[in-house]
Structure 1
């Protein structure tokens, strides 16, 4: 009996210490309960559409992706609704740009933000994480393209048209709000092949573009970077997303990246092989300060003769 009391006492003390580690964040509530082999979490979250605070429960959180941004988990809410939870380190000095943008977006071709909440690292109590609870979409366009490629097939043209239309419709909505995604690529496009649905995700690089305000040029994943970014332009427009979208559509048609460069310069060479060498005026229009490399004079392909095998 005595040892049982000691065991219970230390469990209670441990639990109280666990809760106290969150006291510096008054609105933060985070509770873990283990049912069998299943971990069940209760958290105080903010509802994205109206900003109201609510307590939610989620379970069976399993990692499905990671990167420099953080991690993504697949989980189930209390009503068994499937969700994806993106967990990123939050700098307390700044607002999270992705969160601010996602709260403003409501569109059928953009993955919906449902809730968001904060949690503290168990190993480093001073580190706080932002958790974005989003609708779950089972597949990425990248995996779908690779699936067909492994089968030595191409995606049916009807699906290419369907996914291309939804991508461009989502971009039109985003660009109408002066928001540039800045990382359009197959990995950031979620699809549900069973219903033919495409949704844009990962707005971690997105930004509201202000005319005359400089931006970083090292943005977008290499295969999908617009030429002006490779030339180091800092005053660009949402057109860089349109270039990326064109690269994605080309990849849908061919099953492989259009411009698979190994470096910035190599990327530019791959583009020039297709479109030809840009004129001095075109280079100055992209970046008036660019003077690093001289390119051979290459004529672009005749568009009337281009086919998917070129």
Structure 2
């Protein structure tokens, strides 16, 4: 539990008006695919035939050979991977590190059991995405086991660390993460979210330190694990039992089914707070306790705030707890800009949370926009301003805030940024 002086230490879980009891997620309306807007959802024999690898029961030490290419006149070629070690497991399957025998390149392969009746939503979404702060899909193939189980293998770039392990590293040494790294990591999280929210229109739905990869040399951050991600369509229902508990937005706890990408913004706010504190801000032990942890900081939500989270929720009997001042949540020397950003992200009302692009423009990140900004070891920062289509349609003043003047001078008007600037944008 967070060791913060949060006023009343023994808030009783609400006996009446508790959030609805939720069951583990069932299949959503669009049966396992990018969205519900057409096209056969079956995995066809044609899709599998060129890529099925047989006898893939083992992982570590196993050699997997598959064929890639063959489209658009590209020649087919065989590529082989040696599975080296398991780096993650879950209900979805496993992720293992492997090495390409032809090139020596390290990759991560996510192996998931595939229902032959459906296409895999994660695969469909990853094919849509291309951004420096989003894990990239190299290719994919199917494999079978001796029990005739079909597995989908997603071959992705390999990034050696996670934000979770970086946080644990500093905690184990009883140190706080240097603020420059907090800024750098959080900025890149929002850059990735700004892209997936606006270009393919994807909601990640499981932003947490374990799903944020960190390159320890360059300090580049990448969003990974799109197994819970979905294109949210206005008016369509979605499951509310989604996202890991500590990072779950309050509207999900209240059972909302028509939520927006602002659930990712809440999760990212929780990650920011965790980087600043060295421990989770809302470490609930169960669904009800999670709401209690949030109430201890934000206070009891008003009727209007509950309506904004879930218009169908009608039981308003909660213990009346006052909000805890944000400056008392963090240590005394915390920069006010950090506290201000956290408070703008962690709002009960989803519509009051700032967007990912608005978060990027916050003054907390101004240090990263300085012409001489460097890593503590003197090396350059990873690319932070090579925006793609996510800035299309953004107000000129926001674009000017996001692209530092020294970058504008170097690149010229819109040069290499992949989108036309709105008229009147000063570069």
Displacement of 1:32: 7.8
Distance of 1:160 and 1:270 partners within structure 2: 23
Displacement of 1:43: 1.1
> 1:5 aligns to what?
none
Q: Secondary structure at the match of 1:116?
A: strand
Displacement of 1:293: 6.3
Displacement of 1:55: 2.4
TM-score normalised to the size of structure 2?
Answer: 0.62
Q: Does 2:238 align with 1:215?
A: yes
Could you say if the C-alpha distance between residues 292 and 158 of structure 1 is closer, same or farther in structure 2, counting changes exceeding 3 Å? same
- Can you list the C-alpha shifts for 1:180-231, whole angstroms capped at 9, x where unaligned? 0000000000101221111000000000000010100000000000000000
- Can you list the C-alpha shifts for 1:242-291, whole angstroms capped at 9, x where unaligned? 00000001101111000000111111111111111111111122112224
CA contact (8 A) 1:115 1:134 kept: yes
CA contact (8 A) 1:31 1:42 kept: no
CA contact (8 A) 1:167 1:245 kept: yes
Q: Secondary structure at the match of 1:301?
A: coil
CA contact (8 A) 2:48 2:142 kept: no
Q: Secondary structure at the match of 1:249?
A: helix
CA contact (8 A) 2:55 2:145 kept: no
> 1:93 aligns to what?
117
Displacement of 1:121: 1.5
Higher relative contact order, chain-length normalized (CA < 8 Å, sep 6+)? 2
Displacement of 1:302: 2.7
Q: Does 2:149 align with 1:132?
A: no
> 1:165 aligns to what?
187
Q: Does 2:126 align with 1:102?
A: yes
Indicate the structure (1 or 2) with the bigger Cα radius of gyration: 1
CA contact (8 A) 1:46 1:116 kept: no
Displacement of 1:26: 3.0
CA contact (8 A) 1:119 1:129 kept: yes
Q: What are the ranges of 5 or more consecutive residues in structure 2 without an aligned counterpart? A: 1-44, 335-427
Q: Does 2:267 align with 1:244?
A: yes
CA contact (8 A) 1:48 1:116 kept: no
Q: Does 2:137 align with 1:113?
A: yes
Quote the RMSD (CA, aligned, Å): 2.7
CA contact (8 A) 1:109 1:199 kept: yes
CA contact (8 A) 2:277 2:330 kept: no
- Can you list the C-alpha shifts for 1:148-203, whole angstroms capped at 9, x where unaligned? 10110111110000000100000000000321000000000010122111100000
Q: Secondary structure at the match of 1:104?
A: coil
Q: Does 2:325 align with 1:302?
A: yes
Q: Secondary structure at the match of 1:30?
A: coil
Q: What are the ranges of 5 or more consecutive residues in structure 1 without an aligned counterpart? A: 1-21
> 1:55 aligns to what?
78
Distance of 1:224 and 1:47 partners within structure 2: 42
Displacement of 1:294: 2.1
More divergent stretch after superposition (129-138 vs 274-283): 274-283
CA contact (8 A) 1:32 1:42 kept: no
CA contact (8 A) 1:174 1:180 kept: yes
CA contact (8 A) 2:297 2:325 kept: no
TM-score normalised to the size of structure 1?
Answer: 0.85
Displacement of 1:65: 1.2
> 2:301 aligns to what?
278
Could you say if the C-alpha distance between residues 147 and 250 of structure 1 is closer, same or farther in structure 2, counting changes exceeding 3 Å? same
Equivalences, count: 284
